[in-house]
Structures are given as C-alpha cells and as structure tokens.
Amino acid sequence: MSPVLAGLFTTAIQLSGQQRLAMMLPLCLSIAVVYKTTRCQRMSEVPAAAGVLWVTIVLGMGAVGVGLWSVFSFFVQRV
C-alpha cells in the first residue's frame, strides 16, 4: 500500500462541530433512500418517500439533541 493511501485511512480529519453536523445530512439521506427502496412497491415512489423520511430523521435527531442538551444543562447548573 502506498504511503499516500495509508495516510488517508490512518490519519483522522479534524472537523468542527458544524462540519460534523453537516456530515449527518448525507448519512441520514442514504439511510432513508436504502430503507424506502426496500419498502416501496414502485421505484417512482422512492424519492418522495425518502425525502419525507430524511426530514423526519433529521428533525427527530435534532429534537433528541436539543432534549439531551437541555437535560445536560439542567444538571450542570445544579452542581
């Protein structure tokens, strides 16, 4: 294996918090597309169904994140 390829897979890329959050969007989209591809009867239904599921996943993960952040903030203020 060449040193360039070895460096790509052994060196971590430094990402900011916003960049990590942005990386969640394509991951959620790929999960939604794969899931809806296995569930829809016709392929013409997949784009709309995957879009709705993608928005649902992103909003759900955002709500869970805000909920956990608020619980964390509540307990940190108590200490």
Q: Where are the domains of the chain?
A: 16-78
Closest to 31 in 3D by CA, of 59, 56, 50: 50
Nearby residues of 73 by Cβ (< 8 Å), 6 or more positions away: none
pLDDT one-digit tens code per residue, 6-15: 777 788 889 9
Nearby residues of 61 by Cβ (< 8 Å), 6 or more positions away: 24, 28
Between the CA atoms of 58, 60, 67 and 69, what dihedral angle is there, to the nearest 10 degrees?
A: -20
Q: What residue has token string 């709500």?
A: 63
pTM of the model: 0.79
pLDDT one-digit tens code per residue, 47-69: 999 999 999 999 999 999 999 99
User: In angstroms, rounded to a whole number, what is the distance separating the alpha carbons of residues 1 and 3?
Assistant: 7
pLDDT band per the 50, 70, 90 thresholds, residue 26: very high
